[in-house]
Amino acid sequence: MAGAWKDGNRVRLLENGEEYFPRVFETMAGARNELLVETFILFDDAVGRQLQQVLIDAARRGLRVELTVDGYGSHDLPGDFVNALTAAGVRVHVFDPRPRLFGFRVNIFRRMHRKIVVVDGRVAFVGGLNFSHDHLRDHGPAAKQDYAVEVEGPLVADIRELAEGAVAPPTHWWRRRQVGTAVATRQDAGNAVALFVARDNQHRRDEIESHYREAIRAARREVIIANAYFFPGYRLLRELRNAARRGVDVRLVLQGNPDMPWVRWVALTLYDYLLQAGVRIYEFCERPLHAKVATIDGHWATVGSSNLDPLSLSLNLEANVVVRDRAFAGSLRERLVALMARHCVVIGPEQAPPRTPWRRLLTFLAFHATRRFPRWAGLLPGHQRPALPVTVTPSANDPLGAPAGETPHSARDDAGSSADRKSRASAN
C-alpha cells in the first residue's frame, strides 16, 4: 500500500481512555458488516473484557470480525478468553507467537505494535492506546497519558487496506486479491487533508521517521513533540537541533515518571546536545507518558503508535496518521500546551545532568549507536509467515503465547517479524 495524501476527511482527537474507549466501543457496536482490530496489548481486565463482549456480539450478528494481537505484547492472554472469542466466530490472529526458551522470551524484536480499529470501512481509529485498563485514570498513578485519532472519509480505505492485508490469506503475486466484504464507499466527510503512514521491514522501513524529518525541516515557527520513548536516530536529532538554531521554538514533552526507569536514563544522554541548541525539554511527571504525537506550525500534526526510538523506527510494525488541518493541529497543540503548563517540569541546563567525562562518553556512544542502528537492525532475526487465524486454541489455563499442542499461526509482516507484563510496557 502506497500512502497518498487524501482530502475530504473528518478527524477527531481523542485523549486517554476516558475519551477513546467509549467512542470506539460505541462505533464498533453499530457495525453492520465487519470489524478489523489490531492491538499490541490486550489484557483480560475490565477494558479487555468489554472489547471481548463487543466482538462476540458483532460475530453473533453475522459480522466478519478479525482480531490481531501481538505474540509478545499479549502473550499472557488466557486461553478461556480466546476460546470465548473463537467460539462466537471471531477470527483471532497472533503475530509471531513464541514459547519461552528456558523461561526467557525470544520474540523480542519486530513486534506488531500498531493500534488500529476499522469499522465497516467507514470509520477508523489509529493511535497509541492498547485495550487495557491502564489507559484510564482510575487505574491510579500508573495510568498512562496517550492519544488517538478517529477518521472518517477517503483515508479510511488506506487504513483498512493495511489491516486487511495483515489477516487475508496469502496469494501468489500474479493473482489479484479480493479483499474483505462489502463496505462503505469512499465519501468526503470533512475538510482535513490526511495521510496514513505505516512502517514495515521491507518497503517502508523509514516511512514514519522520514515524515517527521521533512516536517521539522520545513518548520518556521514551532515544533512540539510529545513522545514516550525518545531515543531517535541521528538524522532526526540533527533536524531538531537545526530547527532550534534557526529560531524555531522546539519543545519536547518526555517521560519524567516513566514506567521503565531506563527510559529516562537513555533520554538523559541526549539532553545536553539538545539543550545547547536551544531545544526546550519538558518532563511529564504526573504519571507515565505514553503519547506518540506531534504538531508543527499550527497546521501539521501526527498521532499514532510510533515512538521515536530504535524499536519503533527500525524494527516494529507501526502506523501513524498525519494531518494537515489547522483545526485538528490547533486542538492537539492546545492540549499539549496545557499539559506542559500544568503537569510538566521544565528541564533547563541547570537541571540537566552534569557534563562529566563519563556522561560525555555515554552521549558520544548514544549518537553513534543511533546513527548506525538501522543498519544493525537488518541483522536481527526476521521471518515471514502467512496470515492465518488461531487454529488450535489454548486450554483455559494456558496463556495465548504457549498453547497446548500446537503453536497458533502468526499474522503477516510484509517483510518479517521476530521480537512478563512489566517488560512489555517498554515501548508499547
Look up 420 and say whether it is catalytic: no
Look up 409 and say whether it is catalytic: no
Classify residue 192 by its DSSP letter: E
Q: Is the dihedral of CA 236, 348, 337, 246 positive or negative?
A: negative
Q: Of residues 115, 135, 211, 409, which has the active-site annotation? A: 115
Please list the residues that pair with 36 across neighbouring strands.
66, 118
DSSP states of 342-363 as a string?
HHEEEE-TTTSPP--HHHHHHH
| Amino acid identity, position 282 | Y
Q: Of residues 297, 299, 343, 414, which has the active-site annotation? A: 297
Residue among 313, 310, 305 nearest 114 (CA): 305
- Pairing between strand 280-284 and 249-255? parallel
Q: Of residues 292, 309, 325, 413, which has the active-site annotation? A: 292
Query: Could you give the CA distance from residue 264 to residue 252 in angstroms, rounded to a whole number?
Result: 13
- Identify whether the C-beta of residue 355 lies closer than 8 Å to the C-beta of residue 275: no
Look up 206 and say whether it is catalytic: no
- Which residues, other chains included, contact 353 with Cβ-Cβ below 8 Å and sequence gap of 6+? 268, 271, 272, 359
Query: Could you give the CA distance from residue 44 to residue 78 in angstroms, rounded to a whole number?
Result: 7
Three-class DSSP category at 185: coil
Q: Of residues 75, 93, 113, 135, which has the active-site annotation? A: 113
Query: Could you give the CA distance from residue 97 to residue 72 in angstroms, rounded to a whole number?
Result: 7
Q: Of residues 120, 158, 200, 413, which has the active-site annotation? A: 120
Look up 200 and say whether it is catalytic: no
Rg from Cα positions in the chain? 21
CB-based burial label for 333 (10 Å; 0-12, 13-18, 19+): buried
Instruction: Look up residue 38 and give its three cell numbers.
Output: 489490531
Look up 120 and say whether it is catalytic: yes
- Identify whether the C-beta of residue 291 lies closer than 8 Å to the C-beta of residue 228: yes
Between CA 300 and CA 312, with CA 306 as vertex, the angle to 5 degrees is: 140
Helices and strands (DSSP H and E) totals, the chain: 11, 15
Look up 297 and say whether it is catalytic: yes
Q: Of residues 290, 309, 325, 409, which has the active-site annotation? A: 290
Classify residue 230 by its DSSP letter: B
- Identify whether the C-beta of residue 149 lies closer than 8 Å to the C-beta of residue 321: yes
Q: Which residues are catalytic?
A: 113, 115, 120, 290, 292, 297
